[in-house]
Amino acid sequence: MVSARPAVQELPAYRPGRNPADLAREIGVARAVKLASNEVAFPPLPAVVEALAAAAAEANRYPDNGAVVLTSALAQRYGVDPAQVVTGCGAVMLCQQLAQSFNDPGTSIAFAWRSFEMYPLLARVAGARAVQVPLAPGRPGGPADTHDLEALAAAVDDTTRVVFVCNPNNPTGTAVRRAELERFLDTVPADTLVVLDEAYREFVTDADVPDGIELMRGRPNVAVLRTFSKAWGLAGLRVGYLVAEDPAVADAVRKTHVPFSVSSLAQAAAVAALASEDEVRRRCAAVTAERDRLTSALRERGLDVSDSQANFVWLAVGEEAAGLAAALEQRAVITRPFAGEGIRVTVGTPEEDDAFLAALDEVRSVTIAR
């Protein structure tokens, strides 16, 4: 009998957000609202639609394996050499490539927890040990929702090959600021790679939350991950990128690239999106304004919600998380529960967020009545 590796057999299945059409059919409503996957609610950029139409005419050809045009555009945008840039099939694929590139069995990957749920899974697949450092309260009396960088630095040992710092953190939305992040980077040994995972960077409004690429400069053991899936509206096309200070880091990641995994359509769309940056910035401003409105509305309801620097908010409801999310789904609102910890709610349109708030009010009124 053929068997997978024990580490693979034991992996929990990744749980994407539910399909809203499926939920609507299941509960017998016309439409369900999905606030689970941190997508932006805006349609694709007009330039992206045009680029996709043009690229589709060449779909019978393999894509450019080196994504030369996209890589060059990213290098120009960030003022780096193209040799420092690697594209991939979403940032999560680049996370996997990083683990494959730098971890052997017996080594470790360190990260805060809770954070991006793929980090521990990637460590297992690479045969590495996952070192999970608990989050700490980001403010006095608040929930444990923020990176404890001192504890994370202390967890780094001779086996640590990669450290992930998700900033802003997924799923809590909190971010660490410049001074503490600089201290952390200066503390980590030079032979340990620090990856600043900035999938939500475009939604940051706190001026003291640094741009990781600026902190990367002059630090050869630092690399930055970003994606086109969130602010740039290309979640369905799967394209992310890594920028490394040391080209050797980028080259190692490039060697674990699955050939042709960034499609021609994805490359063309990403280049078109970069050329539409002004519109993307306007869209991000609309998202962050709605994030502030949603945060205020939740606080008015007595919920302890920390400031988010992403396009979602975190409800630290502890053991109520699974039950609350299920009750919201019965009212046609899909959120992302993390059992025993909290619920992540994507910032949607004002109408979608109002539907969520109305459903939340109804659930809480039923709970109180009991």
Give dist(CA 66, CA 87) in Å, integer: 8
Q: What is the token pair recorded at 219?
A: 């630090």
Give residue 366's pLDDT band: very low, low, confident or very high (50, 70, 90): confident
Give residue 15's pLDDT band: very low, low, confident or very high (50, 70, 90): confident
Least confident of 186-190, 271-275, 295-299, 366-370: 366-370
DSSP per position, 209-259 = S--HHHHHTT-TTEEEEEESSSTTS-TTT--EEEEESSHHHHHHHHHTPPT
Across residues 86-115, what is the average pLDDT? 97
Give residue 358's pLDDT band: very low, low, confident or very high (50, 70, 90): very high
Domains of the chain are: 6-44+278-369 (3.90.1150.10), 47-274 (3.40.640.10)
Across residues 230-258, what is the average pLDDT? 97
Mean pLDDT of the chain: 96
Pick the closest to residue 203 from 101, 323, 289, 83 (CA basis). Answer: 289
Give residue 11's pLDDT band: very low, low, confident or very high (50, 70, 90): confident
Across residues 254-283, what is the average pLDDT? 97
Across residues 273-294, what is the average pLDDT? 98
Beta carbons within 8 Å of 41's beta carbon, 6+ residues apart: 348, 349, 352
21-63 per-position pLDDT tens digit: 999 999 999 999 999 999 999 999 999 999 999 999 999 999 9
Q: Residue holding tokens 């017996």?
A: 106
> What pLDDT sits at residue 294?
98
> What pLDDT sits at residue 146?
98
H or E element at residue 162: strand 160-166
> What pLDDT sits at residue 188?
98
Give residue 369's pLDDT band: very low, low, confident or very high (50, 70, 90): low
* Beta strands 160-166; 193-197: pairing state: parallel
Question: Per-residue pLDDT for 222 more than 60?
Answer: yes
Question: Per-residue pLDDT for 370 more than 60?
Answer: no
H or E element at residue 168: none
> What pLDDT sits at residue 10?
78
> What pLDDT sits at residue 17?
75
State residue 324 phi and psi, 5-degree precision. -65, -45
> What pLDDT sits at residue 206?
98
Stronger pLDDT, 131 or 23, i.e. the higher one = 131
Pick the closest to residue 192 from 136, 142, 236, 128 (CA basis). Answer: 128
CB 195 within 8 A of CB 94: no
Give dist(CA 152, CA 181) in Å, integer: 11
Across residues 243-249, what is the average pLDDT? 98
302-344 per-position pLDDT tens digit: 999 999 999 999 999 999 999 999 999 999 999 999 999 999 9
Give dist(CA 148, CA 134) in Å, integer: 7
Pick the closest to residue 240 from 227, 259, 225 (CA basis). Answer: 227
> What pLDDT sits at residue 86?
98
CB count in 10 Å sphere of residue 331: 18
Give me the percent of the chain exceeding a pLDDT of 90.
Answer: 93
Angle between helices 264-274 and 46-56 (to 10 degrees): 150
Give residue 233's pLDDT band: very low, low, confident or very high (50, 70, 90): very high
* Beta strands 144-146; 136-137: pairing state: antiparallel
The pTM assigned to this predicted structure is: 0.95
Stronger pLDDT, 146 or 6, i.e. the higher one = 146
> What pLDDT sits at residue 218?
98
- Whole-number Cα distances in Å, 143 to 132, 136, 317: 18, 8, 10
> What pLDDT sits at residue 124?
93
Q: What is the token pair recorded at 350?
A: 């004002």
Across residues 108-137, what is the average pLDDT? 96
> What pLDDT sits at residue 227?
98
